[in-house]
Amino acid sequence: MLRCPVDGSQLELVPPDLLGQVNQWIEEKRLFNTADQAVSEPIEAGLRPTGRPVIYPVRAGIPTLVPDEAIRLPDESGAGGETDAADH
């Protein structure tokens, strides 16, 4: 079982509706990772830690569990986060 590299919480697969929304936000250049770099490539899947407003991207079938590359979700995602990526 994969765990969040920051807090050890369980990682859940991002549901398809949120995945579609995340890729739309990426296309609109509205998302940033936790290192404040713009996210420019769509993701094929994502892993979300319980209770945190971030997604660890999965590209080419490989999850990226690097804390600085976690994608911050805006408040409107319904993920319970306080970071609004659209403000960048």
Please write the tens of the pLDDT for every residue from 1-53: 899 999 999 999 999 999 999 999 999 999 999 999 999 999 999 999 998 99
Residue 87 has pLDDT above 60, yes or no: no
Contacts of 63-67 with CB under 8 Å at 24 or more apart are: 63/2, 65/2, 65/4, 65/5, 66/5, 67/5, 67/6, 67/34
Cβ–Cβ under 8 Å, residues 68 and 54: no
- Whole-number pLDDT of residue 77: 63
Comparing 76 with 15, which gets the higher pLDDT?
Answer: 15
| pTM of structure | 0.84
